[in-house]
């Protein structure tokens, strides 16, 4: 037997109806805020991700699905969407146009990591980006959009964490101080952090190893080092969040480990998800467009993990699916009648219905109707055929009567 690849999975009903509901609400909230969908390729030149995500990150060093195609080009399955969207933005010359670009995209991402609950090798993200503005009100807008969406799909127990990671003007001083402090305690840190001290000290703040925590908590916070511009921006973001009545927790350790990230960073964690409790994360990336060959363009965005989202959604947040009417034919003669004169008109009227092709007994068909939770059963026997009518049974209250096809469709509708 050939099996699905480790870390990938098939999604069936009833879970798939939760996905459909979530996707519909994503499109709806994006329309409400004026964001347009973009669909980019699932694979890109490897170099795009190496530069766009950062050579020193976990994603690029160990999580990418990279392969050579028939022309010996190094290609990579996208591990995230921002780099692709920025590539599209630059490739189509949008960095030369005035105005703001508001985009979203959704679909599968690929990362080679250890599969566990809420962590897969193929997973899906919903990505929201705003390019070409540094207005702090936009930072608040994308967060508001995200929180409104989470509310609309019934996800509760959400916590928004907020931080600022500064900019190239002020961050170097802060990382220098961090480095100094960390070097003093190098031996007490985990091996990964010992490497991070020299390569990317900011990343130490992100460490999840238990024994490192007390030391990290005692490190100086970035607040005292933010430049005037970053301070003003961060204060304004908080003020706009206040106007939108969005509460947040300040998490001074929330960093996005890349050099291109600047100023605002945020993350939403949800209770009850266990270790993989981070549902969405985002921030400003004022330097990335330039890094990928475009004109200096300030931008902000977030990515939400749809697999984790669905785990956090209540059962009731689900697209309604399934058939509403089961049609039962009692004889060969009435089967043709049910096929042509009952099923077809119901579908023409956009009413989801199904004819029992297995030709069960009336009792067996009723059991099926119960199991499928249909609202109505239509019975067609020889008497119904000769009268050109059907028997309609209401499965909610058990009432049953004979109607013409038109009357039956009216009742069901």
* Sites of contact with ligand ATP (CB under 6 A): 80, 111, 113, 118-120, 123, 125, 276, 278-281, 303, 305, 307-308
Report the distance separating Cα 101 and Cα 267, nearest Å: 23
Q: What is the DSSP string of 137-155?
A: HHHHHHHHHHHHHHHHTT-
Cβ 240 vs Cβ 137: under 8 Å: yes
3-class state of residue 99 by DSSP: coil
Find the shortest distance in angstroms from Cβ 36 to ligand ATP: 21
Of the pair 123, 285, the CB lying nearest ligand ATP is at 123
Find the shortest distance in angstroms from Cβ 254 to ligand ATP: 11
Find the shortest distance in angstroms from Cβ 231 to ligand ATP: 25
Of the pair 38, 273, the CB lying nearest ligand ATP is at 273
Which of 366, 371, 368, 373 is closest to 400 using CA atoms?
366
Of the pair 200, 343, the CB lying nearest ligand ATP is at 200
Of the pair 286, 307, the CB lying nearest ligand ATP is at 307
Find the shortest distance in angstroms from Cβ 129 to ligand ATP: 13
3-class state of residue 133 by DSSP: coil
Report the distance separating Cα 301 and Cα 103, nearest Å: 9
Cβ 246 vs Cβ 147: under 8 Å: yes
Residue 271: other Cβ atoms inside 10 A: 12
Taking CB atoms within 8 Å and a gap of at least 24, the contacts of 400-405 are: 405/341, 405/342, 405/345
Strands (E), 69-173: 74-77, 101-110, 122-131, 158-164
Of the pair 310, 330, the CB lying nearest ligand ATP is at 310
For tokens 């703040």, the residue is 205
Find the shortest distance in angstroms from Cβ 217 to ligand ATP: 19
Find the shortest distance in angstroms from Cβ 11 to ligand ATP: 13
The HSE-up count of residue 141 (CA atoms within 13 Å, CB side) is 20
Find the shortest distance in angstroms from Cβ 283 to ligand ATP: 9
Closest CB to ligand ATP belongs to which residue? 305
User: How many residues are there in the chain?
Assistant: 413
Find the shortest distance in angstroms from Cβ 79 to ligand ATP: 8
Phi and psi, residue 379, nearest 5°: -110, 130
Residue 46 CB-density burial (10 A; 0-12 exposed, 13-18 middle, 19+ buried) = middle
Helix/strand number for the chain, H first, E second: 16, 16
Of the pair 173, 276, the CB lying nearest ligand ATP is at 276
Find the shortest distance in angstroms from Cβ 281 to ligand ATP: 4
Of the pair 40, 278, the CB lying nearest ligand ATP is at 278
Find the shortest distance in angstroms from Cβ 338 to ligand ATP: 46
Find the shortest distance in angstroms from Cβ 250 to ligand ATP: 19
Of the pair 159, 276, the CB lying nearest ligand ATP is at 276
Give me the residues paired with residue 323 across strands.
none
Of the pair 105, 346, the CB lying nearest ligand ATP is at 105
* Tokens linked to 28: 């709806």
Radius of gyration of the chain (CA): 28
Of the pair 283, 381, the CB lying nearest ligand ATP is at 283
Of the pair 119, 252, the CB lying nearest ligand ATP is at 119
Q: What is the torsion angle, in degrees rounded to the nearest 10, for the CA atoms of residue 215, residue 216, residue 218 and residue 219? A: 120
Residue 251 CB-density burial (10 A; 0-12 exposed, 13-18 middle, 19+ buried) = middle
């Amino acid at each position: 037997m050939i099996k699905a690849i480790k870390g990938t999975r098939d999604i069936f009903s009833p879970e798939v109806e939760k996905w459909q509901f979530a996707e519909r609400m994503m499109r709806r909230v994006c329309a409400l805020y004026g964001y347009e969908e973009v669909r980019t390729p699932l694979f890109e030149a490897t170099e795009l991700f190496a530069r766009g995500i950062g050579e020193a990150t976990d994603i690029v060093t160990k999580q990418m699905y990279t392969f050579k195609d028939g022309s010996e080009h190094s290609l990579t399955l996208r591990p995230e969407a921002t780099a692709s969207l920025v590539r599209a933005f630059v490739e189509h010359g949008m960095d030369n146009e005035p105005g703001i670009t508001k985009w979203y995209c959704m679909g599968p991402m690929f990362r080679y990591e250890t599969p566990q609950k809420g962590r897969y090798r193929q997973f899906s993200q919903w990505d929201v980006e705003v390019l070409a503005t540094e207005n702090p009100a936009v930072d608040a807008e994308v967060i508001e959009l995200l929180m409104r969406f989470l509310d609309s799909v019934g996800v509760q127990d959400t916590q928004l964490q907020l931080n600022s990671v500064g900019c190239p003007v002020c961050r170097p001083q802060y990382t220098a101080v961090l480095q100094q402090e960390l070097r003093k305690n190098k031996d007490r840190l985990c091996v990964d952090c010992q490497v991070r001290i020299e390569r990317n000290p900011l990343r130490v703040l992100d460490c999840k190893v238990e024994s490192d925590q007390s030391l990290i908590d005692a490190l100086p916070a970035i607040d005292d080092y933010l430049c005037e511009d970053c301070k003003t921006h961060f204060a304004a973001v908080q003020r706009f969040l206040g106007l939108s009545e969005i509460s947040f927790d300040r998490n001074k350790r929330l960093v996005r480990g890349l050099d291109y990230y600047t100023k605002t960073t945020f993350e939403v964690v949800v209770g009850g998800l266990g270790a993989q409790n981070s549902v969405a994360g985002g921030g400003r990336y004022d330097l990335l467009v330039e890094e990928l060959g475009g004109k200096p363009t300030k931008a902000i965005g977030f990515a939400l993990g749809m697999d984790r989202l669905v785990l956090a959604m209540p059962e009731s947040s689900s697209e309604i699916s399934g058939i509403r009417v089961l049609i039962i034919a009692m004889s060969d003669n009435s089967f043709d009648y049910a096929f042509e004169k009952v099923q077809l008109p119901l579908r023409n009227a956009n009413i989801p219905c199904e004819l029992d092709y297995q030709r069960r007994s009336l009792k067996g068909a009723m059991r099926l109707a119960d199991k499928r939770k249909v609202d109505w059963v239509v019975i067609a026997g020889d008497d119904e055929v000769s009268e050109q009518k059907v028997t309609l049974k209401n499965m909610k209250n058990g009432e049953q009567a004979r109607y013409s096809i038109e009357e039956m469709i009216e009742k069901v509708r």
